[in-house]
């Protein structure tokens, strides 16, 4: 009797276990199918059109450059409902030469539910100088960190325009073809940094840092002179004699100032002080000599043959 009861109890337990497994498996399968249906519905209901926007893009960035950046970060073949969409856009944006840092990537629906918006917040690289290349024909453009930027995308023209209320603003263009016929635009002034290609490397691909100490010091001088109202008169920063590698009797860095086809002025800057400090005249003092010179003469270029900033007192040629 007890053996028969035990066997019956065992059979009931096995049956309950099997029913649990069967119904539990069915429930899991049902959840998986439900999830797939939800994902399919989300994919089906996702916006058919995806628009990318650069939030807070700088005023110096022409619309054509914005368009090039947007096209480079637009995801291809990825549904708007995809969970990793913003992550993919973030990676594409980080790889763009013009983007210094990606702050955030958001996605949201437009007022039109058929349009999905991807919004990018970023810091951008602005060209500060150009470098005449080894062929002495073409130029490369760099930002303040020495990152090479795509030459065909660099803003090269600017114009000041006014709206109907008389409010003025600057607009920028990459090429002459973009400039409307009723706008008079002028070429943007980029100081040319001269390198010594017998010792300096050729530029890297766009988006990469140009590993060149002479260029780094040249950019440092460009940034220093760019804060002055007479910066537009400086055409060239000559870094060929960096570290006195050509002549110990010539300045490490020099600038050339010229307006149009007028006479040039040789501005002998020398070098920057070592990080630990040394006897070299400070950059601030050197710039004060130029400030005083322009204050006395009204301009920088063509007044003297040379201005030497390397000593405790600024020296000028007598002509």
Sequence-distant (6+) residues with CB within 8 A of 92 are 72, 73, 74, 75
What phi and psi, each to the nearest 5 degrees, are found at residue 157? -135, 150
What phi and psi, each to the nearest 5 degrees, are found at residue 55? -75, 130
Write out the DSSP string of 194-252: E--TTTSPPP--TTSB---HHHHHHHHHHHHHTTSTTGGGEEEEE-TTGGGSS-TTS-S
| β pairing state of 265-270 and 306-308 | parallel
pLDDT bracket for residue 110 (50, 70, 90): confident
Distance CA 272, CA 294 (A): 22
pLDDT at 39: 44
Count of other CB atoms within 10 angstroms of residue 8:
10
Read off the tokens for 250.
């010539």
72-100: pLDDT as tens digits: 999 887 788 888 999 999 999 999 999 99
pLDDT at 206: 97
pLDDT at 40: 52
40-73: pLDDT as tens digits: 555 456 677 889 999 999 999 999 999 999 999 9
Beta bridge partners of 72: none
Q: What is the mean pLDDT of the chain?
A: 90
Distance CA 241, CA 196 (A): 8
pLDDT at 29: 56
Read off the tokens for 97.
């030469």
Mean pLDDT for 173-181 is 97
In this predicted structure, the answer to whether residue 258 has a pLDDT above a threshold of 50 is yes
pLDDT bracket for residue 276 (50, 70, 90): confident
pTM: 0.83
pLDDT at 38: 43
In terms of phi and psi (left: phi > 0; alpha: psi -120 to 50; beta: otherwise), the region of 165 is alpha
pLDDT at 158: 98
Which of 23-37, 179-193, 232-246, 257-271 shows the lowest per-residue confidence on average (mean pLDDT)?
A: 23-37
Nearest to 188 by CA among 172, 207, 165, 204: 172
Question: Ranked by mean pLDDT, which of 6-20, 23-37, 99-113 comes out on top?
Answer: 99-113
Distance CA 172, CA 159 (A): 7
Distance CA 14, CA 6 (A): 12
pLDDT at 75: 85
Which of 59-73, 102-116, 228-242, 278-292 shows the lowest per-residue confidence on average (mean pLDDT)?
A: 102-116
Residue 85 near residue 78, CB atoms below 8 Å: yes
């Amino acid at each position: 009797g007890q053996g028969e009861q035990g066997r019956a109890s065992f059979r009931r337990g096995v049956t309950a276990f099997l029913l649990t497994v069967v119904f539990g498996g069915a429930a899991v399968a049902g959840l998986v199918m439900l999830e797939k249906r939800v994902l399919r519905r989300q994919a089906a209901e996702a916006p058919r059109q995806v628009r990318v926007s650069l939030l807070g893009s700088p005023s110096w960035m022409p619309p054509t450059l914005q368009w090039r950046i947007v096209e480079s970060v637009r995801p291809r073949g990825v549904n708007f409902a995809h969970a990793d969409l913003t992550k993919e856009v973030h990676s594409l944006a980080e790889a763009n030469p013009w983007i210094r840092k990606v702050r955030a990537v958001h996605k949201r629906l437009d007022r039109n539910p058929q349009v999905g918006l991807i919004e990018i917040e970023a810091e951008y690289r602005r060209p500060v100088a150009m470098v005449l290349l080894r062929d002495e024909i073409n130029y490369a453009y760099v930002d303040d960190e020495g990152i090479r930027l795509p030459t065909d995308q660099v803003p090269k023209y600017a114009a000041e325009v006014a709206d109907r209320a008389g409010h003025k603003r600057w607009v920028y263009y990459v090429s002459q073809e973009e400039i409307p016929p009723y706008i008079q635009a002028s070429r943007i002034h980029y100081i040319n940094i001269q390198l010594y290609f017998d010792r300096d490397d050729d530029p890297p691909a766009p988006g990469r840092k140009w590993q060149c100490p002479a260029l780094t010091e040249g950019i440092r001088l460009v940034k220093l002179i760019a804060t002055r109202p007479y910066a537009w008169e400086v055409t060239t920063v000559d870094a060929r004699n960096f570290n006195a590698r050509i002549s110990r009797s010539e300045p490490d860095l020099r600038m050339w100032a010229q307006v149009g086809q007028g006479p040039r002025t040789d501005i002998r800057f020398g070098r920057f002080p070592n990080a630990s400090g040394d006897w070299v005249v400070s950059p601030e003092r050197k710039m004060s000599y130029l400030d005083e010179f322009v204050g006395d003469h009204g301009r920088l270029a063509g007044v003297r043959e040379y201005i030497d900033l390397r000593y405790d007192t600024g020296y000028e040629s007598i002509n």
